[in-house]
Amino acid sequence: MKTKKFLMPVMAIAMAVGLAFSTKADVQSNGWVERDGASYQLQTDPCNSSNQAQCEVIFTDDPGTVHQVYMDEALSIPKPGGSGGLPYEIED
């Protein structure tokens, strides 16, 4: 019985330390665009080209507006991988 009382706090500490290192710190996102004045995260990654051109998309419900794709939610880092000409079309 005394060993169970001793092992339970030890196991709790071991689990806490183990779970502290199991989080994902740098998750790659599909990209962000500014839509209706707010940051909007894309559900798919349209920027699949090996070009260094900036990635741009248009939405099927708003075909007249070209949106620049960014790598972060703050919309400060443009995402490469554009087609170099026409923007990618997205059905979001």
Q: What is the pTM of this model?
A: 0.65
Cβ pair 34, 65 in contact under 8 A: no
pLDDT score at 57: 92
Q: Is the pLDDT of residue 12 over 70?
A: yes
pLDDT tens digits, residue range 19-70? 887 766 555 678 899 988 899 999 888 887 777 888 899 999 988 899 999 9
pLDDT score at 27: 59
Q: Which helix (H) or strand (E) element contains residue 66?
A: strand 62-68
For 12, the 3-state DSSP assignment is helix
pLDDT score at 67: 92
Give the model's confidence band at 80: pLDDT under 50 very low, under 70 low, under 90 confident, else very high. Answer: confident
- Mean pLDDT along residues 2-12: 82
Cβ pair 42, 75 in contact under 8 A: no
pLDDT score at 7: 86
For 2, the 3-state DSSP assignment is helix
Please, which residues bridge with residue 91 across strands?
A: none
- Terminal Cα distance for the chain, rounded: 59
